Chains A and B, each alone.
Chain A
Amino acid sequence: MNTLIFRTIAPFLTALMLVFSVFVLLRGHNEPGGGFIGGLIAASAFAIYGIAYGVAAVRRALWFHPMAVAGFGLFVSTLSGLLSILAGVPFMTGLWITPHLFGVEIALSSVMSFDIGVYLVVVGAITSIALALEEKESD
């Protein structure tokens, strides 16, 4: 798509959607949201960028291949489940640590790292599908 308005807006829109996707991912812990929907938002951000500037630009910007991102996400999720072997609880049991950094309590958990893994799997898989479809169109 080659309209001036779209090409001007697309980078801002992409950036905004990516930030929002991370917000939805982290919010999903206790409220509606989570890794899956966050990943979908991020993937649509990449798709919009791809429509405006072409698939090659997205691939350059992503640096890693989308499938590698998905693989990394799967890896992170599996490791989050395996962490519980160290704590002596069954697979996939949620583990929490709450360190105090600069006077702020930050709740970190294996549940969250699992969700981040889900986010990356969805981003990687859907982006790679979207880019493959967009590539066909531009050829």
Chain B
Amino acid sequence: MAATPSTPVDLSLAFILTPPPLGNWLVILPPVLMITLGAVLMMMRHATRLHGLVAVPGLAALVVLDALLLWKVAVEGPITMVMGRWLPPFGIAFTVDVFGALLALVSAMAALAAGIAALSDISETGRRYGFFPFLMLLMAGVSGAFLTGDLFNLYVWFEVLLISSFGLLILGSEREQIDGALKYALLNLLGTTFFLIAVGYTYAIFGTLNMADLAVRAREVSGAPLMTLAGLFLLAFAMKAAAFPVNFWLPASYHTPRLTVSALFGGLLTKVGIYALMRVMIMLFPVQHEAWSFVIGVVAFLTMVLASLGMLAQNDLRRLAGYAVILGIGNMLAGIATGTVSGLAGAVLYALHSILAMTALYLAVGRAAALSGQFTLSSLGGLYQRAPGFAFVSLALMLAVAGLPPFSGLWPKIMLVKASIDIGAWWLAAGILVSGFLSTVALGRVFLIAYWRPAPAQAEGKMPAAAAGPDRPGGSAGWLSFGPLVGLTVIITLFGLFPEAPMSLSQTAAIGLMEPAAYIGSVFPAGGRP
């Protein structure tokens, strides 16, 4: 072993029986709540009418729990609970800092919106296939991944959310869905396998998988093949996050499931990859990250520019939204590549914005399709005439996604551009700006064609038949589907108008990642590190 610790483990700590403060249970409760509700919904799988009544209050409770957790973490600093009262490096630790709590809260908000939208969008068949149990287990995986402080446990939560996402992806078992799910499953399994190999390699080098322990040892160790290890993690998480050379699974699969499912996936899944990438590369392997940062920068540049070109080229609204998700990933990677506090804070802020905005964008696409009966841009039209309120909301969303004021997309972009210029990477800043411009053009084109243009005659004739179909493509167009969209847009607008709180929290999150002393101190209090 490269670095065996000289100080022996202080076993006496294991016999200290101070009960954990009740507030610390907030660390574990979000995934526990979601698993419990998922189990209950599985037991009542035939009472599909009750599913929504259990799931939506459950998601609301998740938002409340995550908000309390964020408040507690922001006030007190990182908190830890070690499962089964084992000593930290041996037991599985759940350690939450501002970074994890922030993402957990925002993703719970997106999931709540999607859960409410699902009440009208997911048909009886979809519920019978288990939409709501899968949604609960997906959120268990997502919250677990954001809150855990153990590398292998992170892998387990990835698996939990991956398996639930397979279930959600093939809801209804149509041919197109199976085709999309196959590509998604194969490439994601490949990514997960790389992750698992990297985890095993980490254990072989350090003999520990606790993140706080790793953060200390990775800075001390010398002569270990850490560049390879960091490269493996980079590849695995880049696959999860849909970064450029390994992102072809996303456009191939995200347009196939129900729109609510796409909204969830677009909002949450790729961001979990970004979260893991930041956690591992910045907090655990900062030196190796420095060496890899040029590669990450190039990947970020290509991801952004190609995604925005993809947005321009698409004629299907759902595929266009898929490229918008990838565009956001490129921006976050640019922030990670800079490796400075302001760049990382920009990436965190962009992740928060992207979770909300992408969920809302997919929901808007779903509603546009519900109103007009199709996803094809070339035959869409007249949405403004039919639903001016919805057109207004969509415009706000598109401006937010394109990163224009006064919405949430603006601030992270400013921070990212500034951070890139600060480190002298003008090409990265140019990539952010050019891709932002191209995405503005693409989204402006959507608004121009689908909303302002009067409805083409041919679509007019087709519309009633398609909109009357019970299953495809949009579901009902009532308040249950419009409400969450409006709610998300309001949050995005507030986020854009009053960015101080999210900005300062992202700043704290970024500092916590770069200087994890508080994180380590929460796992090993009073220098009790082995």
Pair A68/B43 contact, Cβ less than 8 Å: yes
Q: Collect the chain B residues with CB atoms within 8 Å of residue A68's CB.
A: 42-45
How far apart sit A67 and B28, CA to CA, in the bound complex (Å)? 25
Pair A78/B45 contact, Cβ less than 8 Å: no
Asked if A90 is at the interface of the complex by the 8 Å CB criterion, the answer is yes
Asked if B223 is at the interface of the complex by the 8 Å CB criterion, the answer is no
Q: Which of B42, B46, B84 has the most CB of A within 10 A?
A: B42
Asked if B241 is at the interface of the complex by the 8 Å CB criterion, the answer is no
Q: Collect the chain A residues with CB atoms within 8 Å of residue B36's CB.
A: 75, 78-79
Pair B45/A74 contact, Cβ less than 8 Å: no
Interface positions of A from 59 to 118, Cβ below 8 Å from B: 65, 67-68, 70-75, 78-79, 81-82, 85, 88-94
How far apart sit A74 and B140, CA to CA, in the bound complex (Å)? 13
Pair B42/A71 contact, Cβ less than 8 Å: yes
How far apart sit A89 and B15, CA to CA, in the bound complex (Å)? 12
Pair A72/B39 contact, Cβ less than 8 Å: yes
How far apart sit A71 and B130, CA to CA, in the bound complex (Å)? 12
Kindly identify which residue among B17, B43, B84 contacts A72, using a CB–CB cutoff of 8 Å: B43
Interface positions of B from 1 to 48, Cβ below 8 Å from A: 17, 19-20, 22, 25, 28, 32, 35-36, 38-46
Shortest CB-to-CB span from A17 to chain B, Å, is 25
Q: Which of A65, A72, A92 has the most CB of B within 10 A?
A: A92
Q: Collect the chain B residues with CB atoms within 8 Å of residue A72's CB.
A: 39, 43
Chain A's interface: helix, strand, loop or mixed, by majority? Answer: helix
Chain B's interface: helix, strand, loop or mixed, by majority? Answer: helix
Asked if B302 is at the interface of the complex by the 8 Å CB criterion, the answer is no
How far apart sit A90 and B19, CA to CA, in the bound complex (Å)? 8
Pair A67/B42 contact, Cβ less than 8 Å: yes
Shortest CB-to-CB span from A80 to chain B, Å, is 11
Q: Collect the chain A residues with CB atoms within 8 Å of residue B20's CB.
A: 88-90
Pair A71/B32 contact, Cβ less than 8 Å: no
Pair A85/B25 contact, Cβ less than 8 Å: yes
Asked if B81 is at the interface of the complex by the 8 Å CB criterion, the answer is yes
Pair B85/A71 contact, Cβ less than 8 Å: no
- Identify 14 residue pairs between A and B in the complex whose beta-carbon atoms are under 8 Å apart, listed by A's number: A67-B45, A71-B38, A72-B39, A73-B39, A74-B39, A74-B42, A75-B39, A85-B22, A89-B19, A90-B20, A90-B82, A90-B85, A93-B83, A93-B84
Q: A68-B43, A68-B44, A89-B19 are in contact. List 4 more A-B contacts (CB 8 A).
A: A67-B42, A71-B45, A72-B39, A90-B20
The 3 closest A-B CB pairs, nearest first, are A71-B42, A88-B19, A74-B39
